[in-house]
Structure 1
Amino acid sequence: MIRKKSNLPQLKIKFKPQIILAIISLILTVAIPINISYKIPALAQTEKTYEAKLFETALSFTLYFEGGFSNHPADKGGRTYKGILQTEYNSYRRRRGLPTLDVTQMSDAELMEIYQSYWDNSKSATMHPALAVVMFDTAVNFGINNSVTFLQQALGLPQTGIFDTKTKEALAEGNNRNTALQMINERIIYRYKRVQEDATQMAFFHGWLARDYSLWGYVEKLKDN
């Protein structure tokens, strides 16, 4: 799990033997097709709109990789359930005047509301289907501001983490599958930088890259509309 509120560091990549071994292991893993299928809580709409279907498509992928409980000692995010940090869930409950609970007690309704906020705040619904799925998954995995940073990198813009006018204008021209794939590429580059900066994160390296390459294959198969 990436710490969602951290700024993305700009580091030089120097490959180490551990990374080479991880890449070999990854190749053996991704050579086996992954069937992304995860049962998600029912959406509120009785008749699903196009946006609701797209949200469900994005959420299905994300929950496939975020579907369980995690509390790894090297995970800087801490206790996490279905992609939601304990600290994040505490804030969600407090904003509603409710007592905090263990994140594993989060209801399906709460989970869907939190994920809906990621969808809305990342502006994923305004994007090409492939880019919408990548933007949403990046927002959940890295945080909203960092997802905008990855988008800006993919669009060749200065990285501010703010969805400003320049970003909107560039997105209008680059709202397509190629930008989605470039975002995934930027994520992969960042994974290498992350483990070079902090060797303890090698514990997650294989899983991170498996997620990124699976996302690449997932969005390549999506229809344009």
Structure 2
Amino acid sequence: MVVARSLPEHILVVDDDSRIRQMLSRYFEEEGYRVSLAADGREMRDCLDKQSIDIILLDLMLPGEDGLALARDIRAYSDIPIIMLTGRNDVVDRIVGLEMGADDYVAKPFHLREVLARVRGALRRRHSQLSPNSNDLQSEVYCFEGLRLDVARRQLLSGDGTEILLTTGEFDMLCVLVKHAGRVLQRELLMDLTRGRNLEAFDRTIDAQISRLRKKIERDASQPAFIKSVRGIGYVFAARTTRANA
């Protein structure tokens, strides 16, 4: 019997510097990945329209539409992992990138092995989210205030069954908060639980994700009823949560 081999995972590199595009292309192809290249937003969209992409390496500083605008547009219709490439070691740039929906960031100049590790981590989290294989995971459905969080299907549904679209990072954050409802979680712990590793833990990274999540699930994001801030510590999920059958 002939067993079909799955295609290598496909990376899209979006950077206006041809040297960086070629360097990343050569490196990741040697590591067994497929790689497509784009110099700007137009070429990026053309590639996304024509090919199946597993992850995007997106430069922050691009001619015309910058990486932040492109990340926001991608997040409007897809939760494909996005790793921002930023030429400035600026905390604000990183925070804004996460607010626009990026899953991670790498500062230039970077080590290729670091980029590889970030890509592998993002893809590993993505695969675990799309392919749940635990009976316990399949039974994880939480209900709160008319919303239904289905962990296995990675869906958040409103009372009328409409799906509330969340990015990968937003969904992971909501899962952690809901599973620990009533418990105050420090920012550092939230970072560890949602990323599965220790990032450079500056508090506003978590704050940015919480802000985006509130805008999607709270009736009034300025006066949140679900995700409450605990001054100087972190956040607590305050809504009454029940476990439901899948």
Q: TM-score, normalised by structure 1?
A: 0.28
Higher relative contact order (Cα pairs below 8 Å, separated by 6+ residues):
1
Between structure 1 and structure 2, the one with the greater Rg is 2
Q: TM-score, normalised by structure 2?
A: 0.27
The structure with the greater share of residues assigned to helix is 1
